[in-house]
Chain A
Amino acid sequence: MAGISAYGAYVPRLRLQRSAIAAAHQWSDPSFKGKGKGERAIANWDEDALTMAVEAARDCLVHNAAPGDDAPSVLDAIYLASTSLPFADRQNAGIVATALSLDGQRRSLDITGSQRAGTTALLEALQAAAGPYTNSALVVASDKRQAKAASAGELAYGDGAAAMLVEGGDGLLTFLAGVTETADFVDHFRGAGEDFDYTWEERWIRDEGISKIVPAAVQAVLEKAGLEADAVDHFIFPSTIARAADGVAKAVGIKGDALVDNLGANLGECGAAHALVMLSHLLEGGLRPGAVVLVAAFGQGCDALLFRATEAARTPQGQLGVRGHLAQGKASDNYMQYLAFNDLITLEKGMRAERDDYKTALSVTYRKRDMLLALEGGKCGQCGTLQFPRTDICVNPQCGAHHTQTPHSFRDSRASVLTWSADYLTYIPNPPSHYGMITFEDGGRFMTDFTDVDVGELDVGTPVKMMFRIKSSDRLRGFVRYFWKAVPQRGQSA
C-alpha cells in the first residue's frame, strides 16, 4: 500500500499575455490574430527547472517537518523529473536535495527524456513506497521548455513545477494501480544539445498516437484495479492538442465531467511537470473521499495511474499550490523582455556584461555547499546569535567566541529590508538591480539580491522571504551558479 500524502507547486510570477505574443507575429502569420487569448507563466531570468523544483518541493513540504530537521530521517528518495534540466552530467536531483538540506544517505535520481517523466517518477516512487525498502519519497517535476519565437510552443507552453510526497499507507490519495505503455511514437523530439523541439503534424499525433496508445494504457490500468471507466471521477491528461483528452475519455467511456482543467488558459503547459501540476491543482480544491482519480501522460508511450481519495483529501492542506501561485501572478505584455530572458534575441548588454566572473571554483562550491545551496549560516552556542555566513569566530561584538557555531539555515526564516537601492549601473538581465541588507526576524543579516520585485515596491521594513534562484550563468563553460534571493512577501504566505 502506498499513496500521496502531500502536494505542492510553484508557478513563476510573470504571466506573459498571449495577446502580446500574437501581436508580435501577426505581420508574418495572420493566423496569430485568433491566438491571443489568455496568458502563460514565464520564468524570470533567474529561474529554471531546478529553481522551480526547489520551490515546489518547499511548498509541498511546508506542513511537514522542516526539511532540515526530521524529514531526512524518514525520506528515503528524491526523484526529479524534467526535460529541461540545467546539467546533462551533474545530478540535478542532488542540487535540489542539498538546497533542502536533504542530501546525505538517501536515493536521488533524475528522470528525464520524455514528456511523461513526471508521471514515470511518480509511478516509480509509488511502487517503491509500496515495497519494503522505502518509507517515503519526494517526487518533484519541473519544466521550463524553450520555444522558438512564433512557434506553437511559444503560445502553449508554461513554466512551472509540482511536487508530491509519496509514503507507504493510504495517504490522501491511495495508489490503486499503474500501467506504462512504451511506444517509440515520436510526436516531437529535441536532439541532445538542442534548444528547441521539432514537432510533427498535430492530426497525425492525435489520430495515430494519442487516440490509440492512451486508451490502451487507460483500459489496462482500470482492468488492473478492477474498475469500470465510468467510475473515474477526475481524469487528468495534459495535451496541447485541442480535444485530445476529451477524445480519450470518450473512447474509453470516462464521464465528460471528469475532465480536469488543463490550465491552458492561465498557466500554459508545463511539460514533464504538467500532469503533477494538474494533480496538485485538483487536490488543492479538496476531494470527496472515495473519488477515483486517473492520471495519464503521453510521451513515447503512456503512463496511467489510478488513485482513490481518502478522508484526508477532503480538506486542502493549505499550501500555496498552483492556485495560490496563479493568484499571485503579475500580467506582463512585455514580449521583448520575454525574448531577452530566454536568449531568443541578441541584445547589446554593454561592456559591464563582458566580465568573466572567474571560472567557478568547484572545490569552494563543494566546501561551501551548505552555505551556497542550503543558505546555511551559524548559531553561536555561547551567545545564541544567528549569523550568515558561519565562521570560526562569532560575529557578535559582545561575544567573539571561537568555534561555537552550529549550522542554522535561513531558508525558511522571515526577514525584512534594512537598506536597499535600485541600481541602474550594474549589469543584470532585468535592470535595475535591486539589492540591499535584510535582517532576519530571529537574528542574522546579509546583503542580498532582491528578485521578482517591481520598481518602487521596496522600502525599509518591507517583509521578504528567501527563494532559490540562479545567481549567475557562466556561459563560457556552461555552468550555472545558484544562491538564494529575497522576494517581497505578498498576500498569502506558505
Chain B
Amino acid sequence: MARGIKDKVAILGMGCSRFGERWESGAEELMVEAYEEALADAGIDGSQLDAAWFSTHYEEINVGKGGLPLATALRLPNIAVTRVENFCASGSEAFRGAVYAVASGACDIALALGVEKLKDTGYGGLPGSLGGTLNAQWAATGSAPGNFAQLASAYRAKHGVSRDDLKRALAHISVKSHANGAKNEKAHLRKPITAEQALNAPMIAEPLGLFDCCGVSDGAAACIVTTPEIARQLGKERIVTVKALQLSLSNGSEAGHNSWDGSYFHTTRIAARKAYEEAGIKKPREEVSMFECHDCFSVTELVTMEDLQLSPEGGAITDVLDGFYDAEGTIPCQIDGGLKCFGHPIGASGIRMLYEMYLQLSHRAGPRQLEAPRIGMTHNLGGSPMSNVAAVCIIGAAD
C-alpha cells in the first residue's frame, strides 16, 4: 500500500519571473529570472542541485525539445535534466518529478522549472496544435476557448441555469481575478474591470467573451525542493511541505462513452479525491485555506469549484456571486490574479500557482497576504474538458 508523499518533501526556494508580453526576453532570459530568485530564496547555488525537471509545452515556437535548453540557459553542473510535457499541466508534472526524486532518496536537492515564450507568434491567443496525422483529419475545428465553452452549454442544461445567470457568475469570477491581479506587480493584467465590461466584451466562443479568457503570457517559474531535514539544516524557517500530489488523466471515456454529461471534469474529481485522501483532508470546504485553480476560462473555474468539492454540485454560481471565493471570502481563490490576470505561460503555470501558495504560507505575499493560511491547493489542468490532464497539489506548513 502506497503511503503517499505527505510531509516527505519541503520547498526550499521558489522564483517567478514577471509574466506578460515580454518582448525584450526570450525563454532563456525568463528561465534565468525565475532561477535566480529561487536560488536566492533557497540560499544555495547551482552546484548543489542534483537533478532538474523542465516543463514547456509548445516546442515549435519555444526552445525546442529535450532537457538541453534548461541545462544550457542555467549552465547547470552537468546534472540530469528531464523535459516533461503534459499540456497546460506541464508545470505540475515537472514539480512532481523533482518531488518524487527527493522523496525516493535519489536526490537531496532538485529543481523544477517551467517556461513558455508565447509572444513570438504574431497574433493573440495560442497557436493551434494538431495532435498527429490522424487527428488532423477528423478532429473538430476549434480553439481552446471553444473547447472550454462546451462546458457552459452542458452545465446550463444540467442545472437549469439561464444564460444570463451564468454570464453574471462568470463576470464575477473575472472581476475578482482582475481585482486580485491589480495587487500583483508580477501579473500580466493589472487593471481592475467591472462586471459590465466583462458582460459586454466581444464574443470569443459562445458564451465566453474576451474577459472570460486568460492572458496569453510569457513567463517562467521555478521551485527547488529538498527534504524537511535538509531544509532545516540549511536554516529554512516556516517550512512548507508537500501534502499531496495527484494527477489524473482521461482515458477517452468522456470523449467516447455516453456516461459523461459534459458539464464537469471527470479527472479533476478523481485527482481531488485522491489528493484529499493523501493529505488527510476530510472536509475540504472547511480545511482548505486558499487555492489557485486552472482558470484558463471563467467557466473552467466555475465548474472546478464543484469538482474540487469546495462548492456543492450545482452550487458554484451561488458561492461565486456570494463572494465565497473573493480575496475577502471564506476560501480565497486566484489571490495572485490566476491564469486570468497573472497570466498563462503554459509550461510555467503549475509552478506559478505553487509560488503564490508558497508565498502566502511563508507570509511573504505583500499587499495580498491572507490571514494565517495553513493549507494551500493548486489545480492545474491541461487539454480540454473531454480529454485532459488534471493535477491537484496540496502544500502546507510542516507539522
In Å, the complex CA distance between A391 and B127 comes to 29
User: Closest CB-CB distance, A226 to chain B, in whole Å?
Assistant: 55
Within 8 Å by CB of A436, from B133, B143, B150, B261, lies: B150
With both beta carbons as reference points, the residue of chain B lying nearest to A447 in the complex is identified as B140
Is B136 at the interface (CB under 8 A from chain A)?
Answer: yes
B133–A361 contact, CB under 8 A? yes
Is B386 at the interface (CB under 8 A from chain A)?
Answer: yes
B258–A443 contact, CB under 8 A? yes
What residues of chain B lie closer than 8 Å to A483, measured between beta carbons? 137-138
In Å, the complex CA distance between A387 and B128 comes to 27
Q: Given the known A-B contacts A395-B253, A395-B256, A460-B153, are A424 and B138 also in contact in the complex, defined by CB atoms under 8 Å?
A: no
Which of B203-211, B302-310, B341-349 sits within the interface?
A: B203-211
Is A275 at the interface (CB under 8 A from chain B)?
Answer: no
Is B367 at the interface (CB under 8 A from chain A)?
Answer: no
Within 8 Å by CB of A428, from B136, B141, B208, B251, lies: B141
In Å, the complex CA distance between A168 and B85 comes to 62
User: Closest CB-CB distance, B391 to chain A, in whole Å?
Assistant: 21
User: Closest CB-CB distance, B347 to chain A, in whole Å?
Assistant: 21
Q: Given the known A-B contacts A422-B206, A425-B125, A433-B142, are A481 and B137 also in contact in the complex, defined by CB atoms under 8 Å?
A: yes
- 8 A Cβ contacts from B198-248 to A: 203-206, 208
What residues of chain B lie closer than 8 Å to A445, measured between beta carbons? 255-258
In Å, the complex CA distance between A445 and B142 comes to 17
Q: Given the known A-B contacts A388-B256, A424-B204, are A418 and B137 also in contact in the complex, defined by CB atoms under 8 Å?
A: no
- The 0/1 profile, CB within 8 Å of B marked 1, for residues 434-465 of chain A is 01110100011111110000000001110000
Is A351 at the interface (CB under 8 A from chain B)?
Answer: yes
Is B372 at the interface (CB under 8 A from chain A)?
Answer: no
With both beta carbons as reference points, the residue of chain A lying nearest to B128 in the complex is identified as A355
What residues of chain B lie closer than 8 Å to A472, measured between beta carbons? 141
B133–A364 contact, CB under 8 A? yes
Within 8 Å by CB of A425, from B130, B205, B259, lies: B205
Most buried by A among B123, B153, B157: B153
Is A432 at the interface (CB under 8 A from chain B)?
Answer: yes
Is A133 at the interface (CB under 8 A from chain B)?
Answer: no
In Å, the complex CA distance between A385 and B257 comes to 8
Is B156 at the interface (CB under 8 A from chain A)?
Answer: yes
Q: Given the known A-B contacts A358-B130, A360-B137, A447-B139, are A419 and B154 also in contact in the complex, defined by CB atoms under 8 Å?
A: yes
Q: Given the known A-B contacts A437-B386, A460-B156, are A421 and B206 also in contact in the complex, defined by CB atoms under 8 Å?
A: yes
Is A106 at the interface (CB under 8 A from chain B)?
Answer: no
Is B376 at the interface (CB under 8 A from chain A)?
Answer: no
A460–B157 contact, CB under 8 A? yes
Which of A69-77, A115-123, A329-337, A365-373 sits within the interface?
A: A365-373
With both beta carbons as reference points, the residue of chain B lying nearest to A483 in the complex is identified as B138
Within 8 Å by CB of B137, from A385, A388, A447, A471, lies: A471
Is A477 at the interface (CB under 8 A from chain B)?
Answer: no
What residues of chain B lie closer than 8 Å to A64, measured between beta carbons? none
A351–B121 contact, CB under 8 A? yes
What residues of chain B lie closer than 8 Å to A471, measured between beta carbons? 137-138
- The 0/1 profile, CB within 8 Å of A marked 1, for residues 362-388 of chain B is 000000000000000000000001100
A425–B257 contact, CB under 8 A? no
Q: Given the known A-B contacts A364-B134, A419-B262, are A395 and B206 also in contact in the complex, defined by CB atoms under 8 Å?
A: no
A372–B257 contact, CB under 8 A? no
B256–A433 contact, CB under 8 A? no
Is B146 at the interface (CB under 8 A from chain A)?
Answer: yes
Is A420 at the interface (CB under 8 A from chain B)?
Answer: yes
B206–A433 contact, CB under 8 A? no
In Å, the complex CA distance between A395 and B141 comes to 23
Within 8 Å by CB of B134, from A355, A368, A421, lies: A368
B153–A395 contact, CB under 8 A? no
- 8 A Cβ contacts from A174-225 to B: none
Q: Given the known A-B contacts A395-B252, A397-B257, are A423 and B145 also in contact in the complex, defined by CB atoms under 8 Å?
A: yes
Is B103 at the interface (CB under 8 A from chain A)?
Answer: no
- The 0/1 profile, CB within 8 Å of A marked 1, for residues 43-80 of chain B is 00000000000000000000000000000000000000
A435–B137 contact, CB under 8 A? no
What residues of chain A lie closer than 8 Å to B149, measured between beta carbons? 421, 423
A449–B258 contact, CB under 8 A? no
In Å, the complex CA distance between A481 and B135 comes to 12
What residues of chain A lie closer than 8 Å to B153, measured between beta carbons? 417, 419-421, 436, 459-460
In Å, the complex CA distance between A360 and B147 comes to 24
With both beta carbons as reference points, the residue of chain A lying nearest to B129 in the complex is identified as A355
Is B105 at the interface (CB under 8 A from chain A)?
Answer: no
What residues of chain A lie closer than 8 Å to B145, measured between beta carbons? 421, 423, 425
User: Closest CB-CB distance, B211 to chain A, in whole Å?
Assistant: 14
With both beta carbons as reference points, the residue of chain A lying nearest to B204 in the complex is identified as A425
With both beta carbons as reference points, the residue of chain B lying nearest to A378 in the complex is identified as B256
Is B84 at the interface (CB under 8 A from chain A)?
Answer: no
In Å, the complex CA distance between A461 and B203 comes to 23
B137–A439 contact, CB under 8 A? no
Is A396 at the interface (CB under 8 A from chain B)?
Answer: yes
What residues of chain A lie closer than 8 Å to B386, measured between beta carbons? 437, 447
A446–B255 contact, CB under 8 A? yes
What residues of chain A lie closer than 8 Å to B206, measured between beta carbons? 421-423, 432
A421–B138 contact, CB under 8 A? no
User: Closest CB-CB distance, A363 to chain B, in whole Å?
Assistant: 8
What residues of chain B lie closer than 8 Å to A444, measured between beta carbons? 256, 258
In Å, the complex CA distance between A487 and B252 comes to 24
User: Closest CB-CB distance, B140 to chain A, in whole Å?
Assistant: 4
In Å, the complex CA distance between A372 and B133 comes to 12
B203–A424 contact, CB under 8 A? yes
In Å, the complex CA distance between A395 and B253 comes to 6
Is A350 at the interface (CB under 8 A from chain B)?
Answer: yes
In Å, the complex CA distance between A262 and B203 comes to 44
Residues of B within 8 A of A (CB): 121-123, 125, 127-128, 130, 133-134, 136-143, 145-147, 149-154, 156-157, 203-206, 208, 251-253, 255-259, 261-262, 385-386
Residues of A within 8 A of B (CB): 350-352, 355, 357-358, 360-361, 364-365, 368, 371-372, 385, 387-389, 391, 395-397, 417-426, 428, 432-433, 435-437, 439, 443-449, 459-461, 471-472, 481, 483
Other than the given A396-B259, A437-B262, A447-B386, 18 more pairs (CB < 8 A) read A355-B127, A364-B133, A368-B137, A372-B138, A391-B252, A396-B257, A397-B259, A419-B154, A421-B208, A422-B203, A423-B205, A424-B203, A425-B145, A435-B146, A436-B140, A437-B150, A439-B258, A472-B141
What 8 A-B pairs come out closest when comparing CB atoms?
Answer: A423-B146, A421-B149, A419-B150, A361-B133, A460-B157, A435-B140, A395-B256, A426-B143
Report 12 cross-chain contacts, Cβ distance below 8 Å, ordered by A residue. A351-B122, A358-B130, A372-B138, A397-B253, A397-B259, A423-B143, A432-B205, A445-B258, A446-B255, A447-B140, A460-B154, A460-B156
